[in-house]
Amino acid sequence: MMLLQTPLFWAFLTIAAFIAGQQLYLKLHKPIFLPPILTAILLLVGALAITATPYVTYMQGGRFLHELLGPLIVMLAVPLYQQFHTLRRQWLRISLAISAGSLTTIAAAWWLTDWLLNDDVLATTMLAKSITTPVAVAVTQQLGGNTALAASFVIVTGILGAVMIAPMLKLMKLDQPETVGLTLGTCGHAIGTARALELGPVQSAYAATAMTLTATLHAILLPWLF
Amino acid sequence: MAGFLILLTFLMAGTWLQDLLQLPVPAAICGMLLLLVFLLLRGKVPHSLDTTTRFLSPWLPMFLVPVSVGVTSQAELLQQKGPLLLVILIVSLIPGIIVCGLIMQGGKNKS
């Protein structure tokens, strides 16, 4: 079929799949395990499999959207600036919690991957798992990891974080709203932040701050270290 | 559209800076940091940039779909190592949550 070769068709289908994902998310009363991006990915992976379309052909259309990631990363400066006053009050505690927390989880992931799978590219890809996807893709590219997998690791981590963090912290009696929000943003990036938004305004402000700071810290630090 | 132009300007400035200093940091991150410095110096977000941010933010995940669909090209790898990778992702999250929670709340429990 001609249509399947047309780049615009795949760009159209990507937008349509995301909107379908959003609708489903609202219909099911916002289940944490099914963010719109996951539905969209599953639908498109299915569409490519059914039509036997190679990823390269799809990406000729997907590229239209993908190219816009650059300016969107730059845009993250705006929420970071808006949260600046929240940060200043407890900056030492916040920056310690974010850097130690996020570096612990990626060190654990890197070490486990290296030990269990003994695969350099996969271990490198694991490093980007706690940063919000657009930054993760850029960093993985820089480090020589596998960008397609990096995006999946990040999304799966976000969903796991959104599900695990609040119950775990409650179990340890570390469930002040600031702590829950900050941990959701540090370990669960954008998907964790979306979860924090449902928990309350304090949680979401801390989560958004933590997500942006983690991304900035890792984006600057990881390329120097590896 | 003027807000989008600001983003593109800072992206280009970031690309230029990264190239000039041969930084290992991604160009878009350099652009983001430059924009942050600009906003801190200016003291407020320009109206056009604020409008663009409000409009685009809810759609950000959509722009990540194309690169994520790339998992289809990794099917073989995931068949072999997928379950183990999932276990690694779950296990590695636990110490991160504990460390982050303890530092953020340690020593200030009210009870």
A25, A78, A91, best to mutate vs chain B, most B CBs in 10 Å: A78
What backbone phi and psi angles, to 5 degrees, belong to B43? 90, -10
Find out whether B93 and A175 touch, Cβ atoms under 8 Å: no
- For A27-52, b/e burial (b = at least 16 CB within 10 A) is eeeeebeebbbbbbbebbbebbeeee
Partners of B61 on chain A (C-beta within 8 Å) are 18, 35-37, 133, 190
A139 to chain B nearest CA, in Å? 6
Residues 6+ apart with CB under 8 A from A83: A205, A208, A209, A212
**Which B residues in the span 43-62 are in contact with A, Cβ-Cβ below 8 Å?**
45, 49-50, 52-53, 56-57, 60-62
Give residue A12's pLDDT. 92
Q: pLDDT 10s per residue in chain A (226 long)?
A: 677 778 889 999 999 999 999 999 999 987 777 888 889 989 999 999 899 888 889 989 998 998 888 898 888 788 778 877 777 777 888 888 888 888 888 888 888 887 887 777 777 778 888 787 778 888 888 878 887 788 888 878 877 887 788 878 778 877 887 788 888 888 888 777 777 777 776 777 788 778 878 888 887 777 777 6
**Would you place residue B110 in the very low, low, confident or very high pLDDT band (cuts 50, 70, 90)?**
very low
Rounded CA gap, A212 and A46, in Å?
Answer: 32
Residue labelled with tokens 């950000």: B60
Rounded CA gap, A73 and A61, in Å?
Answer: 21
CB contact under 8 A, B68 and A104: no
Flag whether residue A207 sits within 8 Å of chain B, measured between CB atoms. Answer: no
CA angle B44, A196, A27 (to 5 degrees): 110
Angle between helices B75-105 and A147-171 (to 10 degrees): 40
Flag whether residue B4 sits within 8 Å of chain A, measured between CB atoms. Answer: yes
**Which B residues in the span 72-101 are in contact with A, Cβ-Cβ below 8 Å?**
72-74, 77, 81, 84-86, 88-101
Two tokens, residue B61: 């995940």
What backbone phi and psi angles, to 5 degrees, belong to B16? -65, -45
Two tokens, residue B79: 């068949």
Two tokens, residue A29: 């009363």
Rounded CA gap, A99 and B91, in Å?
Answer: 19
Residues 6+ apart with CB under 8 A from B19: B27
CA dihedral angle for residue B6, residue B8, residue B14, residue B15, rounded to 10 degrees: -160
Q: pLDDT: is A181 or B24 the higher one?
A: A181
CA distances, A129 to each of A120, B1, B16 (Å)? 15, 33, 28
Give residue B111's pLDDT. 40
Q: Which alpha helices (DSSP H) does chain B contain, by range? A: 2-21, 27-42, 47-56, 65-69, 75-105
Residue labelled with tokens 């990096």: A150
A75, A121, A180, best to mutate vs chain B, most B CBs in 10 Å: A75
- ipTM (interface predicted TM): 0.83
Give residue B105's pLDDT. 81
Mark residue B109 as left, alpha or beta (left: phi above 0; alpha: psi -120 to 50; beta: remaining).
Answer: beta
Rounded CA gap, A122 and A170, in Å?
Answer: 33
Amino acid at residue number A33: F
CB contact under 8 A, A18 and B62: yes
- Domain positions in chain A are 3-67, 77-225
Of the candidates B8, B10, B2, B11, the one whose C-alpha atom is nearest the C-alpha of residue B49 is: B2
Q: Is the pLDDT of residue B9 over 90?
A: yes
Partners of B39 on chain A (C-beta within 8 Å) are 77-78, 81
Rounded CA gap, A75 and B32, in Å?
Answer: 7
Amino acid at residue number A187: C
Of the candidates A194, A155, A225, the one whose C-alpha atom is nearest the C-alpha of residue A31 is: A194
Flag whether residue B41 sits within 8 Å of chain A, measured between CB atoms. Answer: no
In chain A, the residue whose alpha carbon lies closest to the alpha carbon of B81 is: A117
Q: Is the pLDDT of residue B48 over 70?
A: yes
Angle between helices A133-143 and B27-42 (to 10 degrees): 130
Two tokens, residue A53: 């379309």
